[in-house]
């Protein structure tokens, strides 16, 4: 378990974890990590490709990005973004769409060029869904792949909108939402009846292709999902467990979401021996 600012996994004894006392501190550490890469690429005259998530979890991370832009002159001019998912049936300007969410919390508040924003179009006609998903994959490839993927996790372990039982090799696709997710997310829509029942989402295979993944999970509601993702079997029943396969994924927690981990003492024990191990790395 890491508590320092460097979130980079050093040795894969377990899914690398960083547990923070508070979600705000955690969000600032994640923003600092990503900002470091944005600035390094600026110095090299290169772009950075970010995979972005929605939901309540990354809101303070985006707020910190906005603060860094306003107060510390962090520019996003060299950033390309791909969002993870979108509700089926909602166009990017629908008030409840993830497209609007991104504009409200980030895109309209920074200097990210419009042409570098990529969103799945939830309103694409039925006959064009497959082609749209394939094109999204193609655009990610053409941009050079995702450097940094930001993720949240659903209470049932979903990442993006990859609900339990979806293939761990899936690419961008149309998914039916689970009853749990409909219940969890319906408050935003006022009622279950008004909530879309499907979504377009990057697949788990698409997510695992990112060079670096930071998954944020805060609060007691995420305890079971975190426990299964980190310590449970690698299984389609918990899509987040696919991160166990990734060589550079870090799970960012607060003390509430980390409370269900059974091997916390063991992780601390491992980390306390990090210095001894460095000579073998
Ligand atoms: C939605 C999104 C996910 C997100 C999850 C958790 O279903 N598609 O990307 O991780 O919600 O949401 P929250 O952060 O609000 O708990």
Query: From atom 10 of ligand 1, which residue's Cα is the shortest distance away?
Result: 152
Residues 140, 93: Cα–Cα separation, whole Å: 22
Q: pTM (2 decimals)?
A: 0.93
163 carries an active-site annotation: yes
Angle at 108 between CA 53 and CA 151, to 5 degrees: 10
Q: Which one from 33, 85, 137, 147 is the annotated catalytic residue?
A: 85
Residue from 86, 99, 154 whose mutation best tests the ligand 1 pocket (most atoms within 8 A of CB): 154
Cβ-count burial 124-149 (b if 16+ within 10 Å, e if not): beeeebeebbebbbeebeebeebbbb
- Span 89-104, pLDDT tens digits: 999 899 999 999 999 9
Q: Which of 138, 124, 39 is nearest to 87 (CA)?
A: 124
Residues in a beta bridge with 18: 2, 252
- Residues with C-beta less than 6 Å from any ligand 1 atom: 53-57, 84-85, 152-154, 160-161, 181, 185
Q: pLDDT at position 266, please?
A: 80
- Span 13-34, pLDDT tens digits: 678 899 999 999 999 999 999 9
Q: pLDDT at position 2, please?
A: 47
Q: pLDDT at position 243, please?
A: 97
Q: pLDDT at position 6, please?
A: 54
Q: pLDDT at position 57, please?
A: 98
Q: Which of helix, strand or coil describes residue 210?
A: coil
158 carries an active-site annotation: yes
Query: From atom 5 of ligand 1, which residue's Cα is the shortest distance away?
Result: 154
Give the Å distance between the CA of 8 and the centre of ligand 1. Answer: 23
Mean pLDDT in each 10-residue stretch from start to end of the chain (281 residues)? 50 78 95 96 98 98 98 98 98 94 98 98 98 98 98 98 96 97 92 94 98 97 97 96 94 95 82 54 41
Q: pLDDT at position 29, please?
A: 95
156 carries an active-site annotation: yes
């Amino acid at each position: 378990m890491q508590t320092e600012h460097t979130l980079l996994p050093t040795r894969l004894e377990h899914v690398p974890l960083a547990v923070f006392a508070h979600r705000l501190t955690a969000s600032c550490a994640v923003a600092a990590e990503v900002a470091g890469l944005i600035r390094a690429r600026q110095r090299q005259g290169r772009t950075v490709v970010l995979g972005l998530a929605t939901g309540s979890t990354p809101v303070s991370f985006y707020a910190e990005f906005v603060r860094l832009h306003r107060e510390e002159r962090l520019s996003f001019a060299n950033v390309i973004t791909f969002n993870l998912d979108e509700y089926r049936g909602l166009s990017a300007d629908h008030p409840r769409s993830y497209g609007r969410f991104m504009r409200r919390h980030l895109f309209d508040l920074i200097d990210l060029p419009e042409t570098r924003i990529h969103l799945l179009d939830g309103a694409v006609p039925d006959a064009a869904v497959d082609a749209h998903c394939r094109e999204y994959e193609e655009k990610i490839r053409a941009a050079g792949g995702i450097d940094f993927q930001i993720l949240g996790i659903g209470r049932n372990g979903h990442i993006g909108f990859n609900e339990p039982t979806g293939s761990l090799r899936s690419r961008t696709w149309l998914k039916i939402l689970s009853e749990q997710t409909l219940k969890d997310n319906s408050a935003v829509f006022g009622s279950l009846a008004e909530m879309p029942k499907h979504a377009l989402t990057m697949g788990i295979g698409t997510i695992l292709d990112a060079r670096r993944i930071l998954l944020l999970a805060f609060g007691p509601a995420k305890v079971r999902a975190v426990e299964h993702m980190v310590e449970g079997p690698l299984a389609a029943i918990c899509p987040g467990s696919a991160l166990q396969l990734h060589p550079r994924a870090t799970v960012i927690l607060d003390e509430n979401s980390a409370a269900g981990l059974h091997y916390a003492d063991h992780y601390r024990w491992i980390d306390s021996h990090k210095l001894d191990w460095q000579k073998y790395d």
